[in-house]
Amino acid sequence: MENKEVMEKIVSLCKRRGFIFQSSEIYGGLASAWDYGPLGVELKRNVKEAWWKSVVHTREDVVGLDASILMSPKVWDASGHTENFHDDKVDCRYCKKRFRSDQLEERDCKTREKCDFTEARAFNLMFKTHLGPVEDEKAVTYLRPETAQGIFVNFKNVLDSTHRKLPLGIAQIGKSFRNEITPGNFTFRTREFEQMEIEYFTHPDQAEACHQQWIDERFQWYLDLGMTKDRLRLRKHPDDELAHYAKGCSDIEYEFPFGWSELEGIANRTDFDLKQHAQFSGEKLQYHDQVAGEKYFPFVIEPSGGVDRATLAFLVDAYHEEEVEGRSRVSLRLSPKLAPIKVAVLPLLKKNVDLVELARRIKKDLQKDIVCVYDDTAAIGKLYRRQDEVGTCFCVTVDVDSLEDGQVTVRERDSMKQERISVEGLKEYLMSKL
Ligand code: ATP
């Protein structure tokens, strides 16, 4: 299959089955804005929950935060975003399109050879807005372009309220906004997106070792959730690509059908951010290590990933097409941790009242502990195909024999192997497999 065709199939599956819709579609759609449908929202929540569990709940040294999207505009002066957060853009006098000057080679343009570019100009990527009823300069603020600054400005609050010692990480998931010049590749690059970021504060002497640990851990996270190892790689930034304050940065990249692209960056941001905020706010943001009798600005290691990008990568990676008995079979081989639906309960005959009643009872019992659905709206072959296509891990089929022997057929998604399991032991069986 052509790479372009793979992407088209995934976009079409996402729409058809309720993973991702075009935003404002009934009005012709808003370019590069996407809405997560009933299955998409489950998948995305599972990605976020897997991340939160891995970086907050199963560690001793990271706490969570949920800061607001609107912040004082002074934050963006201190962070350098007001002055420096821009991409260089060029306009084409011929096709009238606008491109990022560092992406001219891969630009999507049908009249490439005729392109005639203007000089590059800086274009600030922050969305400007006004706070309150008066739209003057004093009321200007921005939609945050990253969640990280919400963490830096709360560093002192978190330390004071938790009485924690360094090293300590603060994790946050939330929306960010960037007025990207060339969004595209489905949900890969959009103007509104969700980030999952950690700022890990540590002693400057420990920063380098700590950076490596986070690179390893974050890489492993994608593998633990079933991502294909050969399609993941690390890319260390050369020195001339690093932000002036950064001491090092490695990206985790995934091989999408449109090429190797960044899922997450893990940077050593040194003590830049806290020093800037200390200077601009006048607050004392140094850490006082009372045991060692030392005061210092901690260094910060920042693993910063995109929820939408990770979700897209998991979808692409799970997409599987094969020929079974002369027909094409599509399945999403998602990890059970990510699959939007874990189990589907399907009665073989919907006209048999007893059978339907048993199937409904099984579903009702399972749903207390397992995300599951009941479906009797088609013949069993079609029901299986529907569930495979959305990545449901197990189908439980209730048939007439079930009424006699108290057993149901459990079919596993990837192998399509079927097993008879007693209704009594069903939940335990499924929970152990999931
Ligand atoms: P890129 O080079 O792709 O523009 P970036 O290096 O500017 O990304 P960061 O500022 O490091 O990205 O942001 C951290 C993470 O946030 C990225 O790795 C990505 O997963 C996500 N992200 C950034 N911009 C976007 C976007 N426009 N759409 C979706 N996700 C994004």
Question: How does pLDDT run across 8-37, given as a tens digit for each residue?
Answer: 999 999 999 999 999 999 999 999 999 999
Both tokens assigned to 115: 């392109």
Reported in sequence order, the residue ranges of 203-326 that DSSP labels E, i.e. its strands, are 232-236, 248-256, 259-268, 287-289, 294-296, 299-306, 319-324
Instruction: Among 316, 351, 366, identify where a domain stops.
Output: 316
Q: How far is the CA of 306 from the centre of ligand 1 (A)?
A: 6
Domain presence at residue 52: yes
Q: Which amino acid is at 315?
A: L
Percent of the chain with pLDDT over 90: 85
Q: CA 130 to CA 137: how far, in whole Å? A: 8
Q: CA 402 to CA 359: how far, in whole Å? A: 10
Beta-bridge mates of residue 306: 195
Domain presence at residue 380: yes
Q: pLDDT category, 99, cuts 50, 70, 90?
A: confident
**pLDDT reading at 1 higher than 80:** no
Is there a single domain that holds both residue 240 and residue 169?
yes
Length of the chain: 434
Q: Which residue has the higher pLDDT, 198 or 110?
A: 198
Q: How far is the CA of 126 from the centre of ligand 1 (A)?
A: 13
Is there a single domain that holds both residue 258 and residue 407?
no
Q: Ligand 1: which residue has its CA nearest to atom 18?
A: 264
Is there a single domain that holds both residue 151 and residue 242?
yes
What is the structure's pLDDT at 118? Answer: 86
Place of tokens 């449901």: 392
Note whether 83 and 96 are within 8 A (CB). no
CATH number of domain containing 404: 3.40.50.800
Q: pLDDT category, 96, cuts 50, 70, 90?
A: confident
Is there a single domain that holds both residue 307 and residue 352?
no
263 lines ligand 1 (CB under 6 A): yes
Is there a single domain that holds both residue 283 and residue 373?
no
Question: How does pLDDT run across 234-291, given as a tens digit for each residue?
Answer: 999 999 999 888 999 999 999 999 999 999 999 999 999 999 999 999 999 999 999 9
Domain presence at residue 123: no
Average pLDDT over residues 70-76: 96
Is there a single domain that holds both residue 353 and residue 291?
no
Is there a single domain that holds both residue 345 and residue 312?
no
Domain that holds residue 356: 341-433
Is there a single domain that holds both residue 282 and residue 199?
yes
Cis amide linkage into residue 167, ω under 30° from 0: yes
Is there a single domain that holds both residue 270 and residue 399?
no
Q: CA 417 to CA 396: how far, in whole Å? A: 12
Domain presence at residue 129: no
Mean pLDDT of the chain: 95
CATH number of domain containing 195: 3.30.930.10
Is there a single domain that holds both residue 359 and residue 292?
no
Is there a single domain that holds both residue 299 and residue 429?
no
Domain presence at residue 63: yes
Report CA Rg, the chain: 25
Is there a single domain that holds both residue 282 and residue 389?
no
Q: How far is the CA of 121 from the centre of ligand 1 (A)?
A: 21
Note whether 430 and 368 are within 8 A (CB). no
**pLDDT reading at 108 higher than 80:** no
Q: pLDDT category, 111, cuts 50, 70, 90?
A: confident
Q: How far is the CA of 307 from the centre of ligand 1 (A)?
A: 10
Domain presence at residue 321: no
Domain presence at residue 112: no
Per the structure, how many domains does the chain have? 2
81 lines ligand 1 (CB under 6 A): no
Domain presence at residue 243: yes
Instruction: Pick the atom of ligand 1 nearest to 251's CA.
Output: 18
Question: How does pLDDT run across 32-42, given as a tens digit for each residue?
Answer: 999 999 999 99
Q: Ligand 1: which residue has its CA nearest to atom 4?
A: 189
The residues near 160 (Cβ < 8 Å, ≥ 6 apart) are: none
